[in-house]
Structure 1
Amino acid sequence: MEFTELADYAIPAGTITEWIPSVGPHATTPVLAGWQPDNRPTSYVHEAHLRSSLASPRRGRESWLGAAFEIDGPLDKPAFRRAVLAWIDRHESMRSHASIDEDSGALSRVTAAEGAIDVWQVEQERCVQSSEVYEHLQYLFDEFTSPLAWPAYAFVTLEPLAEEASNRVTVFFAADHSIIDGLSTVLVAHEITALYAEAKDQVPAGLFEAGSYLDFGVSERRVHEELENTHDAVLAWKHFLDEGNGELPAFPLEIGRPGGVHAPQSGLSAWILDAERADAFSVACRKTGNRLFSGLLAALAVAGAELSGDTRFRTITPVHTRDQPHWVSSLGWFVGLCPLSFDIADAEAFGSIVAQATEQVTATKPVARVPLDRVFRALDASAKPRFVVSFMDVRFAPMAENWHDWNARALRSRQYDHDVYIWINRTPRGINISARYPNTEEATSNVHQYVGALRRIVDEVVDTGSYALSGRAGRERNLDASSTGPIATNQ
């Protein structure tokens, strides 16, 4: 499944229906509306997101993730409504709202019980131009998914024009990042499709039980309430910050200067390996005793060294924190951050760089279990991620084999920051790489060069089983198990 902005999705013309959750819209008090006080705290990352949203002029606007996918038409609206309500009852985080008092800074929460939610069904005029649909969706999701108000999410269905040959209905969903993460977005298509089939055709949805993200926040706070400065995570991040003179790593190439007027970032999406070649790349990595993600990190490190001359690879990578079976099907922001840093100057072979990557991931992955905001509080420090590399293997997500037929895609909102984020997803179709970066000539040119170099490196590994390192990335040797040195523990 690709991960792109809404503008990169092929949106047809058609008739829009908005599906907006509500809790007792005519009630005069929160209790009568179905809201009940809830003393469970947020997760650390949710709280940090709320506080940064309050402090930002954008007030949480455009911090959403989402999904788009198709279902068979014609649309049975009563069944779709029942599916959405069942989905909201399934996920407690969709029936809860956390807020921060702007005067006192106190955090509080209210939660509605199962069955307390209704859905406003808002019918819009038919749009004869796809651009009208795009503009409507962009405005709706940007304005109505703020973490500072409930609901911080919405569904939209798009029925094709009568004259269109296709009878497929497109479903769009968006939610603020505070209540969903990247894996959550790939679960939405499967769950809504299954619940719709159950509501429409009495086909059992068969969904796994989902734990509550609210309970995850409680357990996370309990575990990390006391955090000493001698904790491994604190020491690891302190060393990482010191290595960068107090800053988190930046993209290895120039991305230009921030403009005076904030413009939306640019982006790209490319399939760098099909399924067969992704398997071949994975086999080449396993022959060195390592895994595919380490091979991709090694390729990124070599690409950066060849293009910039700097042999030290530094980045941050997200790691999921779904450490219990009941979190697997949950919706929430189950993500920690892992600092990665290794120098390939003395590498004798690409295989040894792959092993270095594995060693770093193995050593620092436990660090991601501790929320970064909690670490920074212990260090009395602050720094903003500037170069992030995310990897997800979603081949075994529920119904992943149907994503292509469903025209399914994960979506992200526009961003205005001066940073570079790269997402690499391994799907049933192969490996896709997406990126967002500043809308400058330098960033556009250099990010494309970087992705091109990555593609060239992995292609050579697939085609020959080796990659000859240039002089700047190490002495020229081939990738094979005998030249990797000591084998690190697999991630």
Structure 2
Amino acid sequence: MLQIPLARLDIEPGHLVEWNLRSSRRRLPAPREEPGRSASFNQDKHFAVAQEAREVNDPLSSWIAITCELPGKLDRPALEAALLLFVRRHEVLRCEFRRLAGDLGCEVLGPDDIALECADVGISGSTAELRSYLADRFEKGIDTLSWPLLVMGAVVREHSSTVYLCFDHIVSDGMSMPNAVNDIETAYAALSRNGEAGLPAAGSYLDFGHEQRRRYLTLGADDDRLAYWKAFIARNGGFFPKFPLELGVEPGRTYPTVNESEKLLDDHEVGVLETRCRDAGGRLFMGLLAALAVSLRRSGGPGDYRCLMPVSERGRGSWTHSMGWFVNTMPLEFSVAEDKDFPEVLAGVRAGFTEMMRNIDIPFVKAWELLAPHHFKLRSWPFPVNFFSYMDFRKCPGGEHHPQWRPTMHVWASRSNGINFWFHRNATGLYVNSIYVDTEEARRTTTAFRRTLTGTVTAMARSGTL
């Protein structure tokens, strides 16, 4: 899987067909006095932001999308059956969110209450026109405040087809995207042979979110379990770690975004880097963190690196194959002082990560609400925040088939006040996708910083030095 801007998607024109979700009931179940299950903290905050943005006519929107390839002449009934199975399999995709008495609850349609309605969109004239259509369709078709929360379709050609799906973040995360690809590709291959899909069990994210809310709803600011966060805040000077380079943004403003992606290392080079990290007592993502932190320091940042890092909450149990927002975001810090060599910096990353994981249970949104209530009321983070994310798509369900399925992931946000980096690895190498504010200073800063980062990562791979 490759995470790139939708504008860079290599997709051939064809005949567009879409499948819209419909309920066989005339409407969703009537609201109860109390919701059946509570949404997760992530979902509650996301929904609240969407509500507030709608009330003040703020054009804030985002989505996560995927594409994947089906070889040969399309078996349309098999694909339709695979898509229907996908939605019936994951309860969160059949859920509508409703706020009642302050709590965000989930009302769910049963698997048998879901149907697909086929729409013949027509023939796309060129790759550019197709990309433009998809961007417009995803933006207009995804609305956090109304069901359904996904778009499904295919570009059908004589000898191949490209399947596309787009989701609201409230029902998915980055690790859900390979799961969606694996579900659909596996089910389609089996159903086109009149076989059984044979997919592994997938727990419901709604159960996960409800249990999380039940466990931490009464957490207070004086709870000892917040000690890690409080110590970080004391050293950092606030809840959010600032991105240390200048982006030319004004406080309280958001800006249109730039979405870029580039290859940092080929497969051989990233394999060498992984070996060097392992020999120094760490892992590849720790080496990337070290490279990012050192590059920021060389670009004018501080000698102590602090960031927010998303960490998967899926574990190795029933959530492995599930759709949902299984992400906690935690603070991480370590030193990149100039006198430290690569093994010393990597040791600091390892120690910082180990301490972070000891405190992983506290939900980010709950910590935010309790420890930075003045910022919690905002619709975005208060200023550019230092953010690091890494995924190895080779290790996801179905990852061994990605060279044949050619999956892509696309993250989009209409507006931002900072910069985000998503590092990811696949069978062809190491990549970084970045979304940042569209200002002249941010473009200059990001271009220069990427050169520094590329040089640092390359040096680490070639010689094991910073």
- Is 1:65 matched up with 2:69? no
What is the correspondence of 1:239-318 to structure 2 with a 5 Å cutoff? 239-246=231-238, 248-258=240-250, 264-318=256-310
- Give the whole-Å Cα distance in 2 for the aligned partners of 1:295 and 1:413: 27
Q: Secondary structure in 1 aligned to 2:107?
A: strand
Distance 2:109 2:239 in 1: 41
- The 1-side partners of 2:415 and 2:301 are apart by 29
Task: Please list the CA deviations of residues 305-336 of structure 1 after superposition, one character each: whole Å capped at 9, or x if unmatched.
Answer: 11105212121110011135001001000000
SS at match of 1:329: coil
The answer to whether the 8 A contact 2:70-2:405 is kept is yes
Are the equivalent residues in 2 in contact too, given 1:5–1:414 (CA < 8 A)?
A: no
Distance in 2 (alpha carbons) for counterparts of 1:259 and 1:127: 42
- 2:59 & 2:317 partners in 1: Cα distance? 31
2:428 matches 1:436: no
Aligned length: 456
Q: Using a 3 Å threshold, how does the CA distance of structure 1 residues 231 and 4 change in structure 2: closer, same or farther? A: farther
Q: Take 2:59 and 2:359, find their aligned partners in 1: how far apart are those partners?
A: 28
Structure 2 contact 59–414 (Cα < 8 Å) conserved: no
Identity among equivalent pairs (%): 28
Q: Deviations over 1:196-255 (max 9, x none)?
A: 122211244332110000110122123223324344552332333344443512322111
Distance between the aligned counterparts of 2:251 and 2:302, measured in 1? 26
1:19 maps to a residue whose letter is: W
1:138 corresponds in structure 2 to: 135
| 8 Å contact from structure 2 (residues 329, 363) kept in 1 | yes
**Residue 12 (structure 2) pairs with residue 12 (structure 1):** yes
Find the residue that maps to 1:208 and give its secondary structure. Answer: coil
**Offset at 1:11?**
3.0
Measured after TM superposition, the shift of residue 459 of structure 1 is 1.5
Cα distance in structure 2, aligned partners of 1:75 and 1:62: 33
| Partners of 2:214 and 2:254 in 1: CA distance | 40
Distance in 2 (CA, whole Å) between partners of 1:309 and 1:146 is: 38
Alignment CA distance shift 1:52-1:396 (3 Å):
same
Q: Which residues in structure 2 correspond to 1:40-439 (within 5 Å)?
A: 40-57=37-54, 62-100=61-99, 105-160=102-157, 167-231=159-223, 233-246=225-238, 248-258=240-250, 264-323=256-315, 325-345=317-337, 347-379=339-371, 381-383=373-375, 384=381, 386-439=385-438
Moved more, 302-311 or 344-353: 344-353
- Asked if the contact 1:63/1:146 (under 8 Å) is kept, the reply is no
More displaced stretch, 88-97 vs 3-12? 3-12
Distance in 2 separating the partners of 1:315 and 1:192: 35
User: 1:106: how far off?
Assistant: 4.3
Instruction: Provide the rounded CA distance (Å) in 1 between the counterparts of 2:59 and 2:147.
Output: 12
Q: CA 1:135 to 1:233, structure 2 compared with 1: closer, same or farther past 3 Å?
A: farther
Between the aligned partners of 1:247 and 1:31, the Cα distance in structure 2 is 40
More displaced stretch, 295-304 vs 441-450: 441-450
Code of the residue aligned with 1:450 in structure 2: it is F
Counterparts of residues 29-40 of structure 1 (less than 5 Å): 29-31=27-29, 39-40=36-37
1:406, 1:329 → 2: CA distance?
18
Q: How far apart in 1 are the matches of 2:218 and 2:254?
A: 39
Cα RMSD (Å) of the superposition? 2.5
2:289 and 2:168 map into 1 onto residues whose CA distance is: 29
- State the shift of 1:94 in Å: 1.1
The 1-side partners of 2:59 and 2:116 are apart by 23
Amino acid at match of 2:452: A
> Following TM superposition, by how much is the alpha carbon of 1:404 offset from its aligned partner in structure 2, in angstroms?
3.2
Paired residues of 1:232 and 1:367 also in contact (CA < 8 A): no
Deviations 1:173-202 (A, max 9, x none): 101001100000122112111111222112
Structure 1, residues 412-456: CA drift from partner, whole Å, max 9, x if none?
Answer: 123311111001112222211111111122212222222222221
- Alpha-carbon distance in structure 2 between the residues aligned to 1:332 and 1:213: 5
SS at match of 1:115: helix
- Greater Cα offset, 288-297 or 149-158: 288-297
Q: Which ranges of structure 1 fall in alignment gaps of 5 or more residues?
A: 468-491
Higher Rg of the two aligned structures: 1
Does the C-alpha gap of structure 1 residues 224 and 201 become closer, same or farther in structure 2, counting only changes over 3 Å?
Answer: same
Distance 2:235 2:414 in 1: 28
Distance 1:19 1:59 in 2: 29
Moved more, 214-223 or 396-405: 396-405
Structure 1 residues 360, 212: closer, same or farther in 2, change over 3 A?
A: same
Task: Give TM-score, length-normalised by structure 2.
Answer: 0.91
Query: In the TM superposition, what whole-angstrom CA distance separates every residue of 1:275-297 from its partner, at most 9, and x where no partner exists?
Result: 22212111111112111111111
